Amino acid sequence: MPKINVYLPDELAEAVKAAGVPVSAICQRALEQAVRRITAIRQTALGELGADDLAERLPRFTDRARTVVKLAVDRARADAAPNVGTGHLLAGMLAEGQNLALHVLKAVEIDPGQVQRDLDRQASGEEGGAGGDSSVHFSDPAAAALELTVTEATALGHNYVGCEHLLLGLITEPDGTAGQVLRALGAEPRLVRRAVTAALAGYVHLRAQTSAAGDPAQALAMAVQQQLQPLVERIERLEQNQGSTPEPR
């Protein structure tokens, strides 16, 4: 039977040993579930999708996240692409224009406009996902990114999947166009994950203080700015100390 090494943080490894967790059995079940989910995503035929179709296929996704997927499918169709790639998903996120993921990018000083320009310069083709019929399917990297999206939401303890989780899924997926573009601009997974957590915490706090007549979008922008500014300033100080301040784009 083939053997796969699993690397864990020191604290988790010690806790697993102390608890006597059956690592092999748990990993096998988790991998089986992941394979089934990714295979199902790859085999999903993306025809003329409507709101009801997306609600059925992506039940935990928020309305904005479903809109992003719909925009990605539309863009792939307009490009006559053989599949919906990670670049299409990222382009859909940018086109939606009002989601938390874009606020997080701005907060870590990544300009969504620059993301779009860099994305436009990349080849959009990705392997896999093409079925035996003429329907459009998700590419292999896009299917993996969507699986990672759900994993990120679960790891954060959320019972929904939003655009912020999709951003993390795209960044952590290693082979897709979207992840390559985002990482090249400085979207390091750990930093963005912390930024998402801080933004959500700040938004919940601010929303509780905002009257019903207040502007939710303004509250969200204020939350991201207040919660992430100390983090951004700390990173800037580290870059200055190391003499590695990035050139303006």
Same domain for 153 and 220, yes or no, is no
What percent of the chain shows pLDDT beyond 90? 19
Asked if 75 and 135 sit in the same domain, the reply is yes
**In this structure, is residue 33 part of a structural domain?**
yes
Q: Of the ranges 5-9, 26-30, 47-51, 98-102, which one carries the lowest mean pLDDT score?
A: 47-51
Which residues lie closer than 8 Å to 119 by C-beta, 6 or more apart?
87, 90, 91, 94, 177, 178, 181
Secondary structure (H, E, C), 127-187: CCCCCCCCCCEECHHHHHHHHHHHHHHHHCCCCCECHHHHHHHHHHCCCCHHHHHHHHCCC
**176 and 198, same domain (yes or no):** no
What pLDDT is attached to residue 244?
47
How long a stretch of residues is the chain? 249
DSSP state for residue 109 in the 8-state scheme: T
CB atoms near residue 158 (< 10 Å): 14
Identity at 145, one-letter amino acid code: A
Helix (H) or strand (E) holding 84: strand 83-84
- Report the domain count for the chain: 2
Lowest mean pLDDT among 6-15, 79-88, 161-170: 6-15
The reported pLDDT for the residue numbered 217 is 52
CATH number of the domain within which 159 lies: 1.10.1780.10
Residue 212 has pLDDT above 60, yes or no: no
Residues 130 and 212 in one domain: no
Residue 203: CB atoms within 10 A of its CB come to: 22
- For residue 153 the two structure tokens come to 């939401």
Domain ranges, residue 216: 192-233
Is 80 a domain residue?
yes
Per-residue pLDDT band at 172 (split at 50, 70, 90): very high
Angle at 66 between CA 62 and CA 71, to 5 degrees: 145
The residue that leads in pLDDT, 214 or 105, is: 105
126 Cβ contact partners less than 8 Å away, ≥ 6 residues apart: 83, 85, 86, 87, 139, 140, 141, 142, 175, 176, 177
3-class SS of residue 61? strand
Measured distance CA(249)–CA(71) in Å, rounded: 27
Does some domain include residue 152? yes
pLDDT tens readout for residues 175-210: 899 999 999 998 888 888 888 887 777 554 444 444
* pLDDT, average across residues 61-76: 90
**Is 63 a member of any domain?**
yes
Do 157 and 204 reside in the same domain of the chain? no
Answer whether residue 243 is part of any domain.
no
For the whole model, what pTM was predicted?
0.68
List, for residues 36-57, the tens digit of each pLDDT value. 666 666 555 555 555 566 667 7
* 7 belongs to a structural domain: no
169, part of any domain: yes
Same domain, 100 and 196: no
pLDDT tens digits for 113-167?
999 999 988 766 676 655 555 566 788 898 889 889 988 888 888 888 899 999 9
